[in-house]
Amino acid sequence: MVPLQWYLVLSAALFCVGLYAVLARRNAISILMGIELMLNAVNINLLAFWRYTQPEAAVGQAFAAFVYAVAAAEVAVGLALIVSIYRNRETVDVDEINLLKW
């Protein structure tokens, strides 16, 4: 069987890719996608830990299922907000969304 560490390395790498997208991308939708990658990294973690450390308890799976559901809700609201700002401003570039500053 593939050792647990490999999954954790994959998850950490995915998390970092997501983190990079959040910090470096200027398009609001790309940032949202980066956040999704981070959440998927979490799911890999949860399922790997569940499978390798306590396959008899369902809690890891349940946690991952909640993460899915919540992430979907978050994206729905996020995209709605992006659409509403696009209708106002005709841009989704976070550098141009800058009315609020000091």
Partner 1 sequence: MGGETVFNAIWLLTILPELLLLILALIVLGVDLALPAERKRSLGVWTAAGLVIVLLVSLLAPVPEEAAFGGLVRADPLGRVFRAMFLLGGVLVALMSMDFRPLRQDGPYYGMLLFSLLGMCLMAVAENLVMLYVAMELTSISAYVLVGYLREDTFSAEAGLKYMLFGAFTSAVMLYGLSLLFGLTGGTGYMEVAAALREAPFSLAMVGFLMVLVGFGFKVAMVPMHFWTPDVYQGAPTPVTAFISVASKAAGFAVMLRAFRFIFPSLGGEWVALMVAISAVTMTLGNIFAVWQKNIKRMLAYSSVAQAGYILIGVAAASRLGIAAAAFYLIIYTVTNIAAFATVVLVSNLTGSEDIESFAGLSRRSKFLAWGLMLALFSLGGVPPFAGFIGKLILFAGAVQSGLIALVVIGVLNVIVSLYYYLNVAKVVFERRSEEEEEPVPIPVPSRWVLGFTMAAIVILGVLAAPVFNWVWRASGAWF
Give residue 85's Cα distance to chain centre.
21
* Cα-only R_g, the chain: 17
Least Å distance between CB 3 and partner 1?
A: 14
Instruction: Tell which one of 13, 68, 73, 93 touches partner 1 (CB under 8 A).
Output: 73
Note whether 37 and 14 are within 8 A (CB): yes
Q: What are the C-alpha distances in Å from 99 to residues 17, 19, 79, 85?
A: 29, 25, 20, 12
Instruction: Tell which one of 5, 20, 88, 93 touches partner 1 (CB under 8 A).
Output: 88
Binding site for partner 1 (CB under 8 A): 8, 15, 18, 22, 28, 31-32, 35, 38-39, 41-42, 45-46, 48-49, 53-54, 56-60, 62-63, 66-67, 70, 73-74, 77-78, 81-82, 84-85, 87-89, 94, 97, 99-102
